[in-house]
Structure 1
């Protein structure tokens, strides 16, 4: 980036490539055209992340998550992946089991994961997507609107 430091437009485009997941969520949440220069962008970044540094979550944060009564799978997923992305380390097997154990015992996805456990987080995510689509279709069938987080 030092080579292109005079080209602000390029600097703004390259900036996101250096961000981790949590910071990328912040970046994607910025309103379009809310920053007029690279300097404004880096100042906003600094005020959000330098003064309010985010401490990584411990694995126990995942262990304590569970789906609430009446909560949709989509809402639980949002909470779960939000914490998962802030946990430091790679805990594939633990991730699969904590997600499954956080579902109510009667939930179809939990039953499915108990009968045939996912072998990777990617496979877990694929199965979750299938169940989420079924849930959304059922909600639409009952005349309920989908909520967008």
Structure 2
């Protein structure tokens, strides 16, 4: 689009190619001849979708997560990574430590992470997956729940 920034008609025609399904539905439902310029198009788009922007979560959000009674490692890690992905920035070390601290003190994975620390989020994810597989093979499905 930058190459054709002087040709407003072309820019307006190319604009939809950058939209996802929800925005595309909005675009398709615009009334014919209701937009007269690219500026009007971007203003209409901005006013419609400004409320759909995701607000980045603060890093402290990770500190509130911990494995709860009845949680499996899968439910805890799924919840953790969902929250982690909503935080902007490079916080691998914090992510590794907060995940580990969210596990119960006597949990095997926590002990493993203390004895043999990981240095990247990828290594942490791999260790979690390995632990889940070993746990599933050793004890059967559902046995990695926290029991009061």
Using the size of structure 1 for normalisation, the TM-score is 0.63
Give, in angstroms, the shift of residue 41 of structure 1: 6.7
CA distance in 1 between partners of 2:64 and 2:77 (Å): 14
Aligned Cα root-mean-square deviation (Å) = 3.3
The answer for unaligned runs of 5 or more in structure 2 is 5-9, 29-44, 144-148
Which is higher, the Rg of structure 1 or of structure 2? 2
The answer for unaligned runs of 5 or more in structure 1 is 17-26, 28-34, 143-149
Give, in angstroms, the shift of residue 89 of structure 1: 1.2
- Say whether residues 1:139 and 2:141 are aligned partners: yes
Matched length: 118
- Say whether residues 1:39 and 2:41 are aligned partners: no
CA distance in 1 between partners of 2:110 and 2:27 (Å): 44
Identify the residue that residue 67 of structure 1 maps to in structure 2: 67
Alignment of 1:1-149 (within 5 A): 11=17, 39-40=24-25, 50-137=50-137, 138-139=140-141
Identify the residue that residue 39 of structure 2 maps to in structure 1: none
CA shift digits 1:37-92 (9 cap, x unpaired): x731767x989953233211111100111000120111001110111001121111
